[in-house]
Amino acid sequence: MPSVFASVPIAATLRTQLASCGLRTAEAIKNLSAEQLSHQLQISYEEASELLQAVQAASTPKPRSALDSLSQQLQQSNISFSSNALDSLFGGAGIPTAKVIEICGCPGTGKTQIALQLSANVICNPEGDQPCRSIYIDTEGSFMAARLRDMLPTVSDLSTQDDNSPLDNLYYYRVCNHLELLALVKSLDQQLEDHNNVRLVVIDSIAFLMRMNLEDAGLRARLLTTIGQTLLRLARAHRLTVLLLNHINSKMASDDFLPALGDSWGHIVPNRLLLYEDKGRRYARLYKSSNLPDKTVPFRITSQGVRDTIPDQGHDQSLKRNYFTDDENSLPDVYEE
């Protein structure tokens, strides 16, 4: 749903009245009755009813043909990992837009490094005359501007510009509790209206604040549902990629590993990428996707960023610990750095 009433056919004077009452979004008035709206705006009951009907009509999803959907998918530009192997997980061109993708793994497996690489690739590669932008939401304090700067020359020719200028196209937010995270996620509609051509939103990480500050399981589940549904809508409405970083849990009394935040969160996230290590080599596995097959590829992290590995060693498929409960979803050992 749009953050402003751009698609609602209402008079300019009424828009001003709405703004003066703090009703700046369609969402803000949808739950009001005609009587409540009439009282707040000092308009007639009939005018309030017509306004509510107009908002409802404008926010109702419109159907489109499968051909239109296919055409839109073919036109969208993906975000490269700077690794052909990782790009191949998503069909060869990298992460697609209008998607929510979770990357999970143990500490030291490369989650933040991949998030920084994708951010660097976005801000250093403009579309025509328009710069592309990224939003980075940091919950753990793991964001490294110097590391991001190190990745910039490898994805863009910076010889004719200030080496730091692409960094102006990344908007960084440090949030310290779940209330700040929720407020920021809810404000993203307006942020995306204010900053054109945002192609990537990163949350590093989605689990940290939920596990540290919330002991009430019911409240945590409701909060995660609100955040997840909001991010899914933003990805579709603004044709951007939402990248969520998550941790891995170890089950009690077993060696099984599971992504943090539980099954309910797992049902919200439509795409999942698992990072792990085997005998000193890094691997990424796409194990959840609505339209792509399960696939595992190697990658490496260098001083310049994420890169392909030198294909000289095989991947040992022997199973020592299980990720998830099904044997077909098992992976080798993961070693924390």
DSSP states of 156-205 as a string?
Answer: S--TTS-TTGGGGGEEEEE--SHHHHHHHHHHHHHHHHHSTTEEEEEEE-
Residue 175 covered by a domain? yes
Residue 66 covered by a domain? no
Answer whether 0.95 is exceeded by the pTM: no
Number of compact structural domains in the chain:
2
| 268-284 pLDDT, tens digit each | 999 999 999 999 999 99
Instruction: Please tell me the distance from the alpha carbon of residue 240 to that of residue 114, in angstroms, as a whole number.
Output: 17
> What pLDDT is attached to residue 5?
58
If you average pLDDT over residues 304-311, what whole number do you get?
A: 90
What domain range includes position 21? 12-59
Residues 44 and 103 in one domain: no
Question: Contact, 111 vs 205, CB < 8 A?
Answer: yes
Q: Is the pLDDT of residue 36 over 70?
A: yes
Residues 92 and 29 in one domain: no
| 190-236 pLDDT, tens digit each | 889 888 889 999 999 898 888 776 778 888 889 999 999 999 999 99
Q: Which amino acid is at 70?
A: L
Residues 16 and 140 in one domain: no
Q: Residue 249: in which H helix or E strand, if any?
A: strand 248-250
Question: Contact, 49 vs 34, CB < 8 A?
Answer: yes
Instruction: Please tell me the distance from the alpha carbon of residue 337 to that of residue 326, in angstroms, as a whole number.
Output: 26
Residue 65 covered by a domain? no
